[in-house]
Amino acid sequence: MKVATYHLALLLNLNGQFEDAWELLAIKLGRNQLADQTKTALALALLRVPLLPDQVDPSKDALIDAAGKPPEIWRKEISTGHCWGFSSW
């Protein structure tokens, strides 16, 4: 289930559905310690970059890495299963 969810989120992001990808990753995969690949996918959705992780220019790795480290408030929202996402802003 986790692998399918991850890949679905990647496809959503690739098609410009950033909020849907972010929410799917955060709600379904974010309850535990996040894997590096999940952090990368979250970062791409957060930054609204419609690429797959292996398509990202290596010169952008630091930016992607920084964006993939959610603040503590996100972790609280994710761990409770309540993800406000960007649509409620």
Residue 73 located in a structural domain: yes
Percent of the chain past pLDDT 70, that is, above it, reads 72
In a domain, 70, yes or no: yes
How much of the chain, in percent, has pLDDT values that exceed 90?
Answer: 39
Query: Is 17 within the bounds of a domain?
Result: yes
pLDDT at 14 over 60: yes
| 85, part of any domain | no
Closest CA to 77 of 14, 20, 42, 31: 31
Q: Which domain range does residue 43 map to? A: 2-80
Instruction: Write down the pLDDT at residue 87.
Output: 43
Q: How many domains does the chain have?
A: 1
- Give the model's pLDDT for residue 69: 74
Please write the tens of the pLDDT for every residue from 24-70: 888 776 666 778 888 899 899 989 999 999 999 999 988 888 887 76
Widest CA span in the chain:
35
CA distance 65 to 54: 14
